[in-house]
Structure formats: structure tokens, C-alpha cells
Structure 1
Amino acid sequence: MAKEKGRKLIAQNKKARHDYHILDTYECGLVLTGTEVKSLRQGRASLADGFVQIDGNEAWLHNVHVPEYSQGTWTNHSARRKRKLLLHRAEIDKLESKSQETGHTIVPLALYFKDGRAKVEIALARGKKEYDKRQTLREKQDRREAERVISAVRRRQRA
């Protein structure tokens, strides 16, 4: 069987990009059980309420929902168990010191397979205020409107 190449997205946390200013991102591995991997291969997971906590020099991913594997037996995993993240010591130390600062947190952004291995992209983030969220939405809407006008002008020029 040929090893799969590239990046196959399983789940994405779009709400995190809306609720937080992303300061820094990291790619890390996950310690998973067999049924969790099989469930992820079916493309089933949710990062909606997920967060990362540093405990005793180890990074743990909490509240990520990986549903039980449908063909699993008594060996099936718990859907919301905490999962250990695989990071270098220097990265863990940096994340721990930064997350101690007021308003900073570590959130998962994406869960995917990279060359056959499950990876999670985590981010050091600072919470947005309500007016920041409105400002971001306004900028996104303005950009979309400008693109619409430009494409309409180009269409008229071609015709």
C-alpha cells in the first residue's frame, strides 16, 4: 500500500480565527489510540470547544471531539478525552511562558493528516474584543465588495 502524501484536512476551527488574534502557530503531533485514528480517517472530528493546556512540562489538548469508531468494540475510546501533544521542549516552554500572560490562550486551528500522520495546528492567541470582531467583519465585507466592483468593471471591458 502506497503511503499517502500531502495534507488531508479533517477539521478546522473557523471560530478561533474570528474570536482571537492569532499571534503564532505551531504544528504538532498527537498521541492517539487505534480507534481514534480510524475515526479521524473517516473525517469525523470537531475542534469547536478545544483548547491546549500545559501541565507538568507536557502539552495536552482538551475538549476536542473525536466520535467513537462505528466498528469499534470494547476497545473504543472516550470521545472527549484529553490527548497529549508532541512538541519540542523549547516550544512547550515558550508556549507556557506566553500563555501565562493576561488574555493569551492556546487554541487548535486545524486537525489534519500529513504524510499519513495525524497533526494538529495550534496557535498562541489573544482574545478579541467585540468591537475588534465587528471591525474584522467590516473589513472582510469591504474587501468582498471591492472585488465585486473590480470584477464587474473587467466584465464590462471584455464585452
Structure 2
Amino acid sequence: MAKEKDTGRKMIAQNKKARHDYHVLDTYECGLVLMGTEVKSLRMGRASLVDGFVQIDDGEAWLHNVHVPEYVQGTWTNHSAKRKRKLLLHRAEIDKLRSKSQETGHTIVPLALYFKDSRVKVEIALAKGKKEYDKRQTLREKQDTRETNRAISAARRRQRSA
């Protein structure tokens, strides 16, 4: 019998700052063209997406400023930490992303880097920048929901003990 592969997602890195700074309009899952030492470094769970962005040049999507540290046991074949990496997307997706990202205020940012079926995938998003008041509003909404959940759980605890 054929051995089934693990179909779960093993998270490597997330870009929580992107969800705070941008309104996420649309998300895409795409593959990455990587070197062997990059994959080994990612298997150790080391990466940073904080300053990352996607740029489309000559019909190809490129991931910039994603920090994958050099593999500790690598030799002269080791990779540079912040090199640009090619994204694997369908032509129609690239064309759609190019047209949407040229609109004012839109950009493409990486949200997550993970393993899926032993392959490295990156989740990118077409996003629009938030204004300062939008960020404050989002934080206020999170705080309000947290407070209501605390109040509800406290009321339930009082009901159980009474």
C-alpha cells in the first residue's frame, strides 16, 4: 500500500504586522523557487516576513526582503539571506495581481510561509494600506471583543458557582 503523506500545514513564519497595517483584499497560495540550503534553514523554522513584499517584473512575480538565514552547516553553496525569490503562480493570477497592484494604495505582501506536503508555500495577499484611524479602530474592536468575552465567561462562572 502507498504511504499517505502528511497533508497538514506546518507554519514556518507569519507576518502579523501585515494584517495590522493593511486591509487584506484577496489571498493567493503560491510556491517558491528555493535553493537546498534555504529549505534546510526553513526546516529549522527560521525566517522573517516582516519587511517582505512582492514585485512583478517581466511577467514574473518576485518575493523581496524575506529573511531566510544562512544554513549553519552550509558550505560555499550557501545562499544569501535576503535574496529575491521567484514565486510560482499561474499566468492569469500574475496578470490579475499586476493590474490590481497598479491601482493607488494597493500592494502585494506575504502573510505566511509554511510547509504543505513537504513543499514550501507562501501565502501572499493583495492589500490596501490602512490609515492611522483604521488601525486604532481595529485595535479598539479587538479590545471590545476581548472585554465582552471576559464578561461572558465571568458571568458563566458565577452562574455555575451559585
Deviation, structure 1 residue 103 = 0.2
Distance 1:141 1:107, change over 3 A: same
Aligned partner of 2:142 in structure 1 is 140
Whole-Å separation in 1 of the counterparts to 2:36 and 2:4:
20
CA RMSD of aligned residues (A): 1.1
Aligned partner of 1:88 in structure 2 is 90
Aligned partner of 1:37 in structure 2 is 39
Identity rate, percent:
86
Map of 1:1-159 to 2, 5 A cutoff?
Answer: 3-159=5-161
Deviation, structure 1 residue 2 = 7.4
TM-score of the superposed pair, with normalisation by structure 1 = 0.98
The alignment partner of 1:107 has SS state of strand
Segments of 5+ residues of structure 1 without an aligned counterpart are none
The alignment partner of 1:80 has SS state of coil
Whole-Å separation in 1 of the counterparts to 2:39 and 2:5:
15
Q: Which moved more, 1:3-12 or 1:41-50?
A: 3-12
Segments of 5+ residues of structure 2 without an aligned counterpart are none
Deviation, structure 1 residue 25 = 0.2
Deviation, structure 1 residue 3 = 4.2
Aligned residue pairs: how many? 159
Q: Which amino acid aligns with 2:37?
A: T
Residues 29-55 of structure 1: per-residue CA shift (max 9 Å, x gap):
000000000000000000000000000
Deviation, structure 1 residue 146 = 0.3
Q: Which amino acid aligns with 2:119?
A: R
Q: Which amino acid aligns with 2:61?
A: A
Q: Which amino acid aligns with 1:12?
A: Q
TM-score of the superposed pair, with normalisation by structure 2 = 0.96
Q: Which amino acid aligns with 1:77?
A: H
Deviation, structure 1 residue 56 = 0.4
Deviation, structure 1 residue 5 = 2.9
